[in-house]
Amino acid sequence: MKDSIIFRKEQFYFRKIIEEDLEPLRIMHNDSSTIRMLTDTTQVSVAMQKKWFMSLDDSSKSRRYSICMYEDGKEILLGMMRLDQIDKLNKNMLVGLDIMPKFRGKGYGKASFRLMLDYCFSELDMHKVTLYTAVYNKVAIGLYTSLGFKEEGVLKEHLLREDGYHDLLVMSLFRDAYLC
């Protein structure tokens, strides 16, 4: 497991996704509290998850990692992070992460986000990190604002949910604002 760790800070780290992560990550993704917050609301089957796993290394601009922590010498899988549209020339990218329902509201989302941002700015040398969030995702917006993200724009009526169309917020954080 140690060999697959990409980045670590104190007890939190992220590593390559392994086969035994697939089912817990699929359950987290399909949970209504998660899927409602995502752009793609397709329920993922076991077969779809397996296919997705096999294609993880196909793109040089996107990466998916398992977020974990060590507790009492054991690894706990907390969730998954997404790095997309990694643009090394213009030094910007998109990020996102989901925490498993049972671990939410305990500060792990914030710790995981800090870990991911440290990696983006210090290791990938990004100038700017951007994310998208549904306007009704108050927990996520609270988290992003507390980390210094600022609203950059709104994609009007960009998400279609059972109760109608909703706006998608674009929020960004610059390297200097994060590292100062």
Residues that bind ligand COA (CB under 6 A): 33-34, 37, 96-99, 104-110, 133, 137-140, 142-143, 146
**Least distance in angstroms from the C-beta of 104 to ligand COA:** 3
| Cβ-based neighbour number of residue 176 at 10 Å | 10
Q: Phi, psi at residue 63, to the nearest 5°?
A: -140, 145
Amino acid type, 84: D
Q: Phi, psi at residue 68, to the nearest 5°?
A: -135, 165
Nearer to ligand COA, 142 or 153 (CB): 142
Name the CA radius of gyration of the chain, rounded.
16
CA–CA gap between residue 42 and residue 90 (Å, rounded)? 32
Position closest to ligand COA via CB: 109
> In terms of DSSP bridges, do strands 150-161 and 164-174 run parallel, antiparallel, or are they unpaired?
antiparallel
Nearer to ligand COA, 40 or 162 (CB): 40
Nearer to ligand COA, 80 or 126 (CB): 80
Nearer to ligand COA, 39 or 59 (CB): 39
**Least distance in angstroms from the C-beta of 37 to ligand COA:** 3
**Least distance in angstroms from the C-beta of 55 to ligand COA:** 22
Residue 176 DSSP label: H
**Least distance in angstroms from the C-beta of 89 to ligand COA:** 26
